[in-house]
Structure 1
């Protein structure tokens, strides 16, 4: 008969409960004992509410005062010409003197752009291509209003008028160029929205404007000299174009405050052919979409390529409104706006999104300045820096 194995009851191992182990009981009791510093820390952690970045942004900013001193105001004093130079000389983010967020400031524009590390060569090429075709001498009156924020807008208007009459500056009015969405902040009209457009006033130094006209005239003359084999009709057309530019420049110098020209074949006025050339060259444009002005053949004095400038200004204003509008209280600290403007990667470094389309390195200061001068935003001091808030006019 085969033997059968069955384990004895005594072979079963029974584990002593941990509670009966004197060492384990001692360790368990020690864990319950908290040092004073540990207790304070645990109490603080338990009472602290964890907040995501979004929640932090939704906290309403504490307004310290509205006596704000903006970075670009210190360069201008009370001179409108210096203020215009401040805008023009600090237009691009990599060469501005208003901050030091980018390391390249020396050399030509090409050298500065290609010295930027984060961008690809294709992006750098796109920047240069955009800027070569960009009208460099224009500023908006809204930007000037923000520079003289502590003065009234009347101060800027009077200063501009004085320099325009003396022939130093030229004002250009582009009709219905800026879209407006006005949201009522009145509690009795909450949610009421008004849509429309407003005119944009641009300012350019007269010397810069005349140099553009002269440059186009010189190009036509060089073209004519190089092409001696041109037919009589083409030569006549070139001469007519040169004559149109000469006549236009003479008119501007004799009428420094003029905003429009009109078709008038009599009394030495502009002919239809001359106006057609000036329209095609970008020096004048149809005054507005108002039927009366169209019927009397009124044309606004313009600036070649100003459409690209207006597109940039409007894109900047739209971007700012969108960013502030996402916040619960329609406000952000300036440092938060900068982070969103540039973009930040996982390591906290700038992604330099502002050097890509549609801004191509346009400095944020002038986006804020335009919106502030237009009344789209207001600025105030907080205990932790400047804050910006939507006003209701968008």
Structure 2
């Protein structure tokens, strides 16, 4: 046996390795490098909302939503829009008796009016529609209602139309005195195209009763924004502008005179400031031009509902990458993903496999009182907020203009 063969080379004897004592109970465990993961996508849009990887095929715009052949004039269109505004209350939708009462009471309180832009969505020519509205208003068939300060242009909600029989019924059911109600209706029949009625059309007691009922609001003719050259509480006049333009350049009169700041509504020493005779005559003329704006009761809740519904539908489209979506998918989003009412869905519910949302918990019923999807779609289409087009593969689709 070789001399260099010792017990250290034997496989039966192993030399213990010297290791430092562990400083912590986890130091003996194997350390692994962290796994590199792919960076998340930017949150410009939700991936769950990005239904298609590319834009939808566009085979032509849809110019009108009229599918019913009976919609041939404005009067029939107004009746159709009003009758298709809300969905029926679903059975077993999760509503209690108090909520059902609130929904029905709110629907009944809304005025029977529609916006002019909504009518445009069902008739082919907006110009011809406006002419027809003017002719029907002159004949006493419809009445046009304008709410100032509610936007301008195609997306305005300030202009509405109501059938005159509905307006007449609303006046008689408002609880007004019969004589005051007849006086209002007579004034409207005598002036079918006027949006404002002179202040001398009613007595003080009649005007107060009609304002309280919501059929009149105060307004003024000839109001103009105040400028540094006019008084803040009176409309600007051409006489004041003419006198300023004729003043020598660089003089105090060229910038409105000594009382320019006071006339613009500012504060200052008014000891030497007096209103001129032209200003007093202007204010007297302004007070004589006081008029009454024709209105409808509960117009405010109606306009708030309309504005919120428009904004919500546009917000649903904005969640998509290309701001467009098929109508069937947009309708599902508007309805809130509630479970369908077909036999298969009812069988799943009985087996305990119900995965849908109760209608009472959706925004459609909590905030919009069951406002129908087709009604909001037509409102946005007529206002020019979106456009419809044929895809050829998934039916009609909507996109933001």
Q: Report the TM range for the smaller structure's normalisation.
A: 0.5 to 0.7
Relative distance call for 1:250 and 1:73 in structure 2 (3 A) is: same
CA distance change for structure 1 residues 317 and 345 in 2, over 3 Å: closer, same or farther?
closer
Q: Name the structure 2 match of 1:79.
A: 73
Aligned to 1:276: 208
Deviations 1:302-358 (A, max 9, x none): 111122211111111111121122222222111121111111169664643255232
* Aligned with residue 130 of structure 1, among 86, 93, 106: 106
Mapped partners of 2:151, 2:306: distance in 1: 9
Q: Distance in 2 between matches of 1:290 and 1:53?
A: 54
Whether 1:168 aligns to 2:141 is yes
Aligned mates of 1:178, 1:367 — CA distance in 2: 18
Match of 1:321 in 2: 314
The within-5 A match list for 1:237-256 is: 242-256=178-192
Residue 61 of structure 1 corresponds to which residue in structure 2? 56
Classify 1:163/1:58 alpha carbon distance in 2 versus 1 (closer, same or farther; 3 Å).
Answer: farther
Instruction: Summarize the Cα distance change of 1:170–1:339 in structure 2 as closer, same or farther, 3 Å threshold.
Output: same
Report the alpha carbon displacement of residue 376 of structure 1 after superposing the two structures with TM: 1.0
Answering whether residue 183 of structure 2 is matched by residue 207 of structure 1, we say no
Does the 8 Å contact 2:64/2:121 carry over to 1? no
Question: Which whole-Å CA distance do the structure 2 matches of 1:368 and 1:142 have between them?
Answer: 12
Contact preservation (8 Å) 2:336, 2:364: no
Q: CA distance change for structure 1 residues 58 and 247 in 2, over 3 Å: closer, same or farther?
A: farther
Q: CA deviation digits over 1:24-63, x for unaligned, max 9? A: xxxxxxxxxxxxxxxxxxxxxxxxxxx9533325642221
The offset of 1:66, in angstroms, is 1.3
Q: Structure 2: how far apart are the matches of 1:345 and 1:153? A: 36
Question: How does the TM-score come out when normalised to structure 2?
Answer: 0.62
Task: Give me the whole-angstrom Cα distance separating, in 2, the residues matched to 1:166 and 1:277.
Answer: 28
Q: Secondary structure at the match of 2:205?
A: helix
CA RMSD of aligned residues (A): 3.0
- CA–CA separation in structure 2 for the residues paired with 1:350 and 1:147: 32
C-alpha deviation, 1:124, in angstroms? 2.2
Secondary structure of the 1:74 match is coil
Whole-angstrom distance in 2 between the partners of 1:153 and 1:285? 29
Kept after mapping to 2: 8 A contact 1:127/1:360: yes
* CA distance in 1 between partners of 2:61 and 2:184 (Å): 46
Larger Rg: 2
Using the TM superposition, give the Cα deviation of residue 198 of structure 1 relative to its aligned residue in structure 2, in angstroms.
Answer: 4.3
1:157-306 maps to which residues of 2 (within 5 A)?
157-178=130-151, 198=156, 200-216=158-174, 219=175, 242-264=178-200, 269-287=201-219, 291-292=223-224, 296-306=289-299
Gaps in structure 1 of 5+ consecutive residues: 1-8, 10-50, 95-112, 183-196, 221-240
Per-residue CA deviations over 1:186-205 (Å, capped at 9, x if unaligned) read xxxxxxxxxxx945111111
Task: Determine the C-alpha separation between the residues in 2 that align with 1:60 and 1:354.
Answer: 28
Q: Is the 8 A contact 1:58 1:329 kept in 2?
A: no
- Answer yes or no: is 1:387 the counterpart of 2:388: no
Q: What is the Cα deviation at residue 247 of structure 1?
A: 1.6
Structure 2, unpaired ranges of 5+: 1-10, 12-45, 225-234, 236-285, 340-353
Contact 1:146 1:372 in 2 (8 A): yes
Deviation track 1:245-278 (CA, whole Å, cap 9, x = no partner) reads 32211101111112111212xxxx3233332222
* TM-score scaled by length of structure 1: 0.63
Specify which structure has the higher proportion of helix.
1
**Aligned with 1:73: secondary structure?**
coil
Q: Are the aligned partners of 1:175 and 1:199 in contact in 2 as well (CA < 8 Å)?
A: no
Deviation at 1:127, TM superposition (A): 1.2
Question: Structure 2: how far apart are the matches of 1:164 and 1:130?
Answer: 28
In 1, Cα distance between the equivalents of 2:323 and 2:218?
Answer: 37
The answer to whether the 8 A contact 1:178-1:198 is kept is yes
| 1:128, distance to aligned residue in structure 2 (A) | 1.7
Q: Which runs of 4+ in 1 moved over 6 A?
A: none
Separation in 1 of the partners of 2:332 and 2:386?
Answer: 18
